[in-house]
Amino acid sequence: MKAIVLILLAAIIVSLGSGLFFLTKGEQDSPRLLKALKIRVALSAGLILFLVSSFYFGWIRP
């Protein structure tokens, strides 16, 4: 479980970094910037769903 959470967090950080790179590169309306944002939002939603379902099924405890 920890490995999955850490991998998702690392992917979110990488997506955040790529979005920052495209933003500072000067192309603020770049499709790559929008794609990085979409990926980050999808990964964050996936992480939240994974954590909630893991708690529901009893795989993790508070």
Give me the tens of pLDDT residue by residue for the chain, a chain 62 residues long. Answer: 889 999 999 999 999 999 888 888 876 677 888 898 999 999 999 999 999 999 999 998 88
User: What is the model's pLDDT at position 31?
Assistant: 87
45 vs 9, 39, 49, CA distance in Å? 11, 10, 6
pLDDT at residue 23, as a whole number: 86
Distance between CA atoms of 10 and 54, rounded to whole angstroms? 19
Predicted pLDDT of residue 12: 96
Q: What is the DSSP string of 11-34?
A: HHHHHHHHHHHHHHTT-TT-HHHH
By the 8 A CB rule, do 41 and 19 touch? Answer: no
As a whole number of Å, the CA-based R_g of the chain is 14
